Amino acid sequence: MKKKIAILVAALGIAGAVAFYFISGPNPLDETAISTQIASHKVDLKNGQILYNAGGCISCHRPAKGVKAQNLPSGGAVLKTPVGLFFPPNITPDEKTGIGRWSSLQFLNAMKRGLSPEGKHYFPAFPYTSYTHMSVGDLLDLQAYLNTLKPVDASENKKTSLFGEDLLRRGVGGWKWLGLQTNEFEPQPSQSAGWNRGAYLVTGPGHCSECHTPRNFLMVSDYSRILQGGPHPEGKGKVPSLVGLVKRKKFKDIEDLNSALRFGEIMGYEDISSGGMGEVQTNMSKLPDSDTRAIAEYILSFK
């Protein structure tokens, strides 16, 4: 009897491992479906730059202190997360240490599926969980813009090294299978153009929900409690709710919130500077006024 149970347990274990192996494998974009979109796309570099700023790429991909070109996303500055220390990689077009040689498909798989060119899973410390909602055209513009930046050789950068990293990455695959929603953003025809633009920027490139929307038990943004605030994802403190900002007398109107997003602390908006929000605001200040206004319109619709 004992032997039978042991065999059964072993068999279940093997079945589980096999299932896990398949579930946690890579799930790339459908190459044929996407290649026509790639081939017919006309690049708009200005749009790419807007998305680069809205996406806050520099906030995480900035170089370590002391490296000269602080305004280039050559990676290497430490990013503290509950999983461990990350050193986000070089995303300048350097051919050896950056992403200059990446195909459009490789870039899209990174941004929309969290997959490396070798088919490894990225950790969601890289917020592809939000970028996945961006349109293919916007991502192609973003890649084209990145390719106009000065290439930086980052061979001196520290590299992420986590305990049991390969197994953890497979685990991320299992987690994606359970919880990652990869649907592209869909505008709501009943809302204004400004609202829809704001909704797109907040949900996709701006990745505001990564901090402002609480997570469910799978640790993914719980959109049924959208923008209601919660514990800080980087482990310390809380992130405020963005619901009812006018009712709670935080901001007077769209104009007021727009100024806060554009000017932040220098204009006396104090609650928009700490816990990573200061960097978000600096990036917002580089957007066209119509875009920050759209974000303000969308956020203030949560009454």
Q: Rounded distance, CA 65 to CA 82, Å?
A: 22
Q: Which range in 8-16, 24-32, 174-182, 239-247 contacts ligand HEC by CB under 6 A?
A: 239-247
CB contact at 8 A, 43 and 141 = yes
**Does residue 227 belong to the site contacting ligand HEC (CB under 6 A)?**
no
Q: What single-letter amino acid sits at 285?
A: S
Q: Which range in 9-17, 20-28, 41-49, 51-59 contacts ligand HEC by CB under 6 A?
A: 51-59
Nearer Cβ to ligand HEC, position 242 or 254? 242
256 class by beta-carbon count within 10 Å (0-12 exposed, 13-18 middle, 19+ buried)? middle
Closest Cα to residue 90, out of 150, 131, 46, 137? 150
**Does residue 262 belong to the site contacting ligand HEC (CB under 6 A)?**
no
**Does residue 211 belong to the site contacting ligand HEC (CB under 6 A)?**
yes
Among 108, 125, 220, 254, binds ligand HEC (CB under 6 A): 125
Q: Rounded distance, CA 147 to CA 273, Å?
A: 31
**Does residue 275 belong to the site contacting ligand HEC (CB under 6 A)?**
yes
CB contact at 8 A, 278 and 261 = no
Q: What single-letter amino acid sits at 161?
A: S
What's the farthest any 2 CA atoms get from each other in the chain?
A: 76
Angstrom CA distances, 95 to 8, 99, 101, stand at 52, 6, 6
Q: Rounded distance, CA 54 to CA 228, Å?
A: 21
Nearest residue to ligand HEC, by Cβ distance, number only? 55
Q: Measured from the CB of residue 280, what is the shortest distance to ligand HEC in angstroms?
A: 4
Among 254, 287, 295, 300, binds ligand HEC (CB under 6 A): 295
Among 152, 180, 199, 277, binds ligand HEC (CB under 6 A): 277
**Does residue 206 belong to the site contacting ligand HEC (CB under 6 A)?**
yes
**Does residue 208 belong to the site contacting ligand HEC (CB under 6 A)?**
yes
Q: Which spans of this chain sit near ligand HEC (rule: CB under 6 A)?
A: 55-57, 59-61, 79, 86, 88-89, 91, 99, 110, 116, 122-123, 125-127, 131, 142, 160, 202, 206-208, 210-212, 239-240, 242, 250, 271-277, 280, 295, 299
